[in-house]
């Protein structure tokens, strides 16, 4: 991996991140079967489960009632979004001691370009050091994939969990990846993998076999086939872009559930949890949102997205009110497999026009209310036509 034309990309994936943070906050959970979800309730779904709970078949997106059926003694703890954000920043800052070129993929995973430091140090030694420091200093276990592209680094980090380090060179792809299940291809969905298996595509080797191209194409289409084949042969992006999501004018999140949701209250709770997670990003990046949307996809794959535009805000209570209105107006008595929340028409709070900036908008509204009160008082006293709000004549069109 010393070839100057090859970039050395790390994919650093926190193992069981939400559960790890829960153990940090409550050490008595260590070694126990527990899940992050809706505490003291049979409603809702599992956000993530400890490895001990996974031994019983409990997994993310599983309805809590089913998880309790598999393990009546299951411990469930509430999510701690503020703590997740805190530890995300801590582990990101630790990695930035080795390189400034990092790209956040999600709250518990980052890509890091370690090409420069690898000119002086063995990248495997660097990976071991990062892994050890994360455990010792932050109590966060992780797996690390090392490869020449982002896609292959992601594939590599998934191979050994927990606390794995996997190097994946181009020449080793067939030996390392081809024996894996086709479902292990990053980006192949849970619904697509069984369809591939049905037509005889059981492994990545089967997927890459030229003799099977027609079978695979019939399932995923020609465009996706080409994209996956390029990625699996190392012909995909090797650019770690710290700014990739920095200037986004919209942010969103969604989740597909293994067990369809049908209860209105459960869906509302899930949507509000998503809204809260997005709200943290909104506040952290100093954004306001003007448009809030929800997405609902039913069991027949019919998808609707509904949105409402309001005044610029970063008030979670106001956002939740909009989400509740949108769900109330669009909820039908059916089963839903995917739901999501999005904020769009984002604007930096510092970029708002002066008359509507965070420091003056309340006082302007108060002045407006005072003017309206004065007009109302005069009208009551002297009649409706006595006084009205002024109109700038130069703005008035000629008739």
pLDDT digits (tens, 9 = 90+) for 286-328: 788 889 999 999 887 788 999 888 878 888 988 998 999 899 8
Token pair 């969990």: residue? 161
Highest mean pLDDT among 131-140, 186-195, 214-223, 319-328 belongs to 131-140
**Tokens linked to 397:** 């069109």
> Residue 113 phi/psi, 5° resolution?
-85, 110
pLDDT at 6: 87
Strand ranges (DSSP E) for 22-147? 34-36, 48-49, 75-77, 102-106, 109-113, 142-147
> Which pLDDT tens digit goes with each residue over 150-160?
999 999 999 99
Cβ–Cβ under 8 Å, residues 236 and 311: no
Structure tokens at 194: 């069984």
Q: Which of 1-15, 111-125, 242-256, 301-315 has the highest mean pLDDT?
A: 111-125
* Integer angstrom CA distances of residue 140 from 18, 74, 91, 137, 151: 10, 23, 8, 8, 23
Does the pLDDT value for residue 162 go beyond 80? yes
Which pLDDT band, with edges at 50, 70 and 90, does 360 fall under?
very low
pLDDT at 192: 86
- pLDDT at 310 (0 to 100): 83
Phi, psi of 184 (to 5 degrees): -80, -5
For 55-94, write each residue's pLDDT tens digit: 999 988 788 999 999 999 999 999 888 898 899 999 999 9
Q: Which pLDDT does position 57 carry in this prediction?
A: 96
Q: What is the mean pLDDT of residues 116-127?
A: 96
Q: How far is CA 349 from CA 56, 181, 191, 315, in A?
A: 47, 47, 41, 13
Question: How confident is residue 372, by pLDDT bands cut at 50, 70 and 90?
Answer: low
Tell me the torsion sign for CA atoms 237, 243, 246, 247.
negative
| Model confidence at 356: pLDDT above 70 | no
Model confidence band, residue 280 (pLDDT cutoffs 50, 70, 90): confident
- Parallel, antiparallel or unpaired: strands 34-36 and 75-77: parallel
- pLDDT over 80 at 350, yes or no: no
What confidence category does residue 351 fall into, taking pLDDT thresholds of 50, 70 and 90? low
Mean pLDDT of 184-211: 92
Catalytic residue among 52, 103, 109, 270: 109
Query: Within its chain, how far is the Cα of 226 from the centroid?
Result: 26
Please check the confidence at residue 135 and state whether its pLDDT lies above 80: yes
Structure-model confidence comparison of residues 176 and 329, the more confident one: 176
Q: What is the pTM of this model?
A: 0.65
Percent of the chain scoring above 70 in pLDDT: 85
Contacts of residue 313, Cβ cutoff 8 Å, sequence gap at least 6: 288, 289, 290, 319
Question: Which CA distances in Å does 367 have to 143, 355, 358?
Answer: 57, 12, 16
362 pLDDT band, cuts 50/70/90, is very low
Q: In terms of residues, how long is the chain?
A: 399
Whether 109 is a known active-site residue: answer: yes
**177 vs 205: CA distance, rounded Å:** 8
pLDDT > 90 in the chain, percent: 56
Between 358 and 58, the higher pLDDT residue: 58
Q: Are 146 and 9 in contact (CB under 8 A)?
A: yes
Q: Is 33 helix (H, G, I), strand (E, B) or coil?
A: coil
DSSP codes joined into one string, 303-349: EEEEEEEEEEE--HHHHHHHHHHHHHHH--SS-EEEEEEEEES-EEG
Residue 46's pLDDT is what? Answer: 87
Cβ-contact 249, 348 below 8 angstroms: no
Query: Domains of the chain by range and CATH?
Result: 1-171 (3.30.70.270), 177-235 (1.10.150.20), 250-351 (3.30.1490.100)
- Using alpha carbons only, how large is the chain's radius of gyration in Å? 26
Other Cβ atoms closer than 10 A to 229: 15
**What pLDDT shows up at residue 246?**
55
Amino acid 125: pLDDT: 97
Alpha-carbon gap, residue 187 to 7, rounded angstroms: 22
What's residue 61's pLDDT? Answer: 76
DSSP summary character for residue 274: H
* Average pLDDT over all residues of the chain: 85
pLDDT at 21 over 90: yes
């Amino acid at each position: 991996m010393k070839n100057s034309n090859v970039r050395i990309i790390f994919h650093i994936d926190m193992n069981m991140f939400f559960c790890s943070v829960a153990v940090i906050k409550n050490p008595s959970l260590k070694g126990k079967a527990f899940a992050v979800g809706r505490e003291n309730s049979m409603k809702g779904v599992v956000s993530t489960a400890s490895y001990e709970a996974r031994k019983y078949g409990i997994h993310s997106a599983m309805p809590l009632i089913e998880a309790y059926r598999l393990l009546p003694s299951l411990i469930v703890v509430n999510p701690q979004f503020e703590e997740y954000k805190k530890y995300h920043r801590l582990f990101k800052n630790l990695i930035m001691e080795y390189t400034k070129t990092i790209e956040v993929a999600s709250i518990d995973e980052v890509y890091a370009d370690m090409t420069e430091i690898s000119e002086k140090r063995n990248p495997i030694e660097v990976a071991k050091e990062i892994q050890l420091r994360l455990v010792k200093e932050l109590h966060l276990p992780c797996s690390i994939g090392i490869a020449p592209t982002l896609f292959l680094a992601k594939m590599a980090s998934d191979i050994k969990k927990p606390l794995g380090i996997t190097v994946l060179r181009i020449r080793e792809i067939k030996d390392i990846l081809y024996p894996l299940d086709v479902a292990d291809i990053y980006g192949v969905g849970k619904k697509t993998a069984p369809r591939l298996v049905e037509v005889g595509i059981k492994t990545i080797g089967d997927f890459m076999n030229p003799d099977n191209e027609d079978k695979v194409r019939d399932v995923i289409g020609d465009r996706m086939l080409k994209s996956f084949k390029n990625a699996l042969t190392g012909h995909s992006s090797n650019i770690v872009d710290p700014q990739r999501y920095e200037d986004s004018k919209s942010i969103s999140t969604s989740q597909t559930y293994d067990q369809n949701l049908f209860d209105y209250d459960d869906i509302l709770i899930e949507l509000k949890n998503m809204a809260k997670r997005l709200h943290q990003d909104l506040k952290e990046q100093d954004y306001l949102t003007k448009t809030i949307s929800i997405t609902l996809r039913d069991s027949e794959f019919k998808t609707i997205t509904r949105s409402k535009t309001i005044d610029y805000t970063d008030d979670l209570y106001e956002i939740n009110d909009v989400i509740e209105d949108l769900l109330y107006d669009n909820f039908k008595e059916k089963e839903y497999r995917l739901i999501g929340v999005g904020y769009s028409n984002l604007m930096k709070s510092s970029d708002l026009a002066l008359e509507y900036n965070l420091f003056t908008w309340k006082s302007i509204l108060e002045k407006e209310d005072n003017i309206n009160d004065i007009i109302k008082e005069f009208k009551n006293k002297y009649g409706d036509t006595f006084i009205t709000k002024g109109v700038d004549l130069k703005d008035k069109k000629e008739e």
